[in-house]
Chains A and B, each alone.
Chain A
Amino acid sequence: MKPDLLRIGDYELRSRFLIGTGLFPNPYVQMEAIKASEAEVLTFAIRRINLESSADDSILQHVEEGKHIFLPNTSGASTADEAVRIARLARASGLSDWIKVEISANERTLMPDPIETLKATEILVKEGFTVLPYTSDDPVICKRLEEAGAAAVMPGAAPIGTGLGILNAYNLGLIVEEAHVPIIVDAGLGSASDVAQAMELGVSGVLMNTPVAKARDPVMMATAMKLAIQAGRQSYLAGRIARKQYASASSGFDEFILK
């Protein structure tokens, strides 16, 4: 059987878990949780790190070199121009040419600004970045981002850090149906069941930070999330049964009745 790989840009990933490095209680727990997640892609806010010397950075110094693909994000940007500028800084530092476009206009909700996100995606794609925009769960904007050349599109399940789970499963389903690039649910998930639900809707992967980092046992939660991704993915691929209104016996004894 051929392995079920996630293809983003030029990369083939075994893990469908993209993990954020922020908010962990300390570097020991952070390192152990990242290890337990088996995630290959790590994301972090560019503004939070020391770009001039990333090996000295207070977060990145704890990450084993060469083991991960870095997905720096533009969090803090409130316009396309700012996001583009931040992305260029990250690439110039040699960290990565992957970029998660994250543009929020409102510091309370941190809801993504889809218009600015689309603009930034168009520019960065032209500049040769592998662009993964974080956006709202709107099927039309997700399609537009794909058409703009996004390597994957990352709709939020709920606002960042809320742990509310999937607020609009119908929209996510539509987004997946329409997509020709990977759809990765980014933000708002809270627990393993949320993750499994997302994967069962057919998304290609999940990006998380808060639900792992702020769990009572972040390392165990990283493992739980990894397993939920696998379970949800296999459940999706295996094909669930149809929903029926009434019970039907699973033992099927009718045909054994002697006439």
Chain B
Amino acid sequence: MSQNIIIIGGGIIGLSCAYELRMRGFDVTVLEARRCGGQASGAAAGMLAPFSENTEGPDAFFRLCQFSLLLYPEWQEQIRSISGVHFEYANTGSLHIAYHAADLLSLEGRRLWQRQYGSSGEIVSGAELFRMEPALSRDVLAALYTPEESHIYAPDFIRALEQACRISGVLIKEELGSIRLVEWDRHIAVSAADGTVFYGDRLVASTGAWAQELSEQLGLPIPVYPIRGQICAYRTETQPPVKHMVFFNQGYLVAKANGTMVCGASEDVAGYDTSVTERGIERLRNWNNKVLPFLEGQLPFHSWAGLRPATQDGYPLIGPVEGAERVLMAAGHYRNGILLSPVTAKFIADFIENRCVPSEVREMFSPSRFANAWI
């Protein structure tokens, strides 16, 4: 007997779960308060960079990120062929640049542990570095080159994913306004602002920066906070191409195939405010000039902001809620939602099918881990 799955939230995580579950034969309905991909997912720069995003060591979160990167080639190919929607997916590799000799120790430390975990990274400097990336500032001393990292054009990818969902038979309901979980014990019932009620057997809550809204209903602490990311883009058609993603200790720059250079991103504590501030963008501009001198004097043609769902311990919430087994959470992916979407979809579907999920995933990313026993 096929279960009927309700998914709240039509961002990258919700749509990926919907697609994966549909492929495994479930009836799936996605409920979206506004428009699919309208929040953090559509605002993302689409870096698929587990090595650059995890610099300290191979913890459970890094391994999750890296596993997801390995799923990406096939995952995006499926989405592309089913949807027929074109999107950029570029295996460019990345350069994490350093300006000071004091950075070399940590780059080398990173290279050492990352090479044991699937990176073929190497430190490049001097003429070799500038041959690889001629536009880099000559103040750059060296870089950790990680060939395995990629990027994807998130706004197009989200459209493709939504289209793949629709074509494969996922029901997507948008513009529902406030969505409330009404019943989750014997079955799932979710109501929309206009009073429509949707019924199902299981619920996947992929509500990103709004995940905390379920906290009261479920009687479970869900410490997810919005952290605003401001981001901007330059037109660089007339400039020398920048072939790699460039990371530095204050942000990143990535050249997209559409002739733009995306630069991110701030991490602001600003509640649910998604406005762009002059200071936020000025800050991005100030660094950019030091990385790619040709950006000096250029103005971004576009700037925007999204709300990253940050959790209390930095790890996402993936899996069933203890004591409310019909409810699964897939939220709190912070800076890595695009990267982590295939692996999240896989594990959410595995949970629903009662398949084996690694104990590390069940423990480290359990949505119930913040519920202390208050005795």
Contacts and interface: CB of A to CB of B under 8 A. Distances in A.
Interface of A: 23-29, 31, 46-50, 52-53, 56-58, 61-62, 74-78, 82, 86, 104, 107-108, 110, 161, 214-219
Contacts of B266: 58
Nearest to B110: A107
B227 A28 contact: yes
B267 interface: yes
A52 B249 CA distance: 14
Nearest to B99: A47
Contacts of B370: 216-217
A29 B370 CA distance: 14
B334 to A, nearest CB: 7
Given A29-B312, A62-B269, A216-B369, A86 B105 contact: no
A26 B267 contact: yes
Contacts of B70: none
A26 B112 contact: no
Contact of A50 (B105, B250, B268, B314): B250
Interface string B237-274: 00000000000011100000000000000111100000
A31 B267 CA distance: 12
Contacts of A27: 227, 267-269
B171 to A, nearest CB: 34
Contact of B314 (A25, A31, A76): A25
A62 B267 CA distance: 9
B168 interface: no
Contacts of B189: none
A76 B100 contact: yes
Specify which of A75, A76, A77 lies most central, judged by the most chain B CB atoms within 10 Å of its CB. Answer: A76
Given A25-B310, A216-B369, A47 B269 contact: no
Contacts of B312: 25, 29, 216-219
A77 B267 contact: no
Interface in B94-115: 100-106, 108-109, 112
B103 A47 contact: yes
Contacts of B199: none
A58 B250 contact: yes
A54 to B, nearest CB: 12
Contacts of A31: 269
Contacts, number: 94
Contact of A76 (B106, B225, B251): B106
Contacts of B283: 53, 56, 61
Given A53-B286, A56-B283, A58-B249, A26 B310 contact: yes
B105 A76 contact: yes
Contacts of A214: 313
Interface in B268-285: 268-269, 282-283
A57 B227 contact: no
Interface in B304-358: 308, 310-315, 334
B56 interface: yes
Contacts of B311: 25
A26 B227 contact: yes
B287 interface: yes
16 contacts: A24-B314, A26-B225, A26-B267, A27-B267, A28-B225, A28-B227, A31-B269, A46-B102, A47-B100, A50-B250, A56-B283, A58-B266, A86-B100, A108-B109, A216-B369, A217-B223
A77 B287 CA distance: 23
Contacts of A219: 312
B309 to A, nearest CB: 10
Interface in B360-375: 369-370
A52 B286 CA distance: 10
Top 6 A-B pairs ranked by shortest CB distance? A25-B314, A76-B102, A107-B109, A26-B310, A47-B102, A56-B283
A29 B310 contact: yes
A55 B267 CA distance: 14
A239 to B, nearest CB: 34
Given A56-B286, A58-B251, A77 B102 contact: yes
Contacts of B314: 24-26, 29
B352 to A, nearest CB: 26
A107 B250 contact: no
Contact of A86 (B102, B108, B112): B102
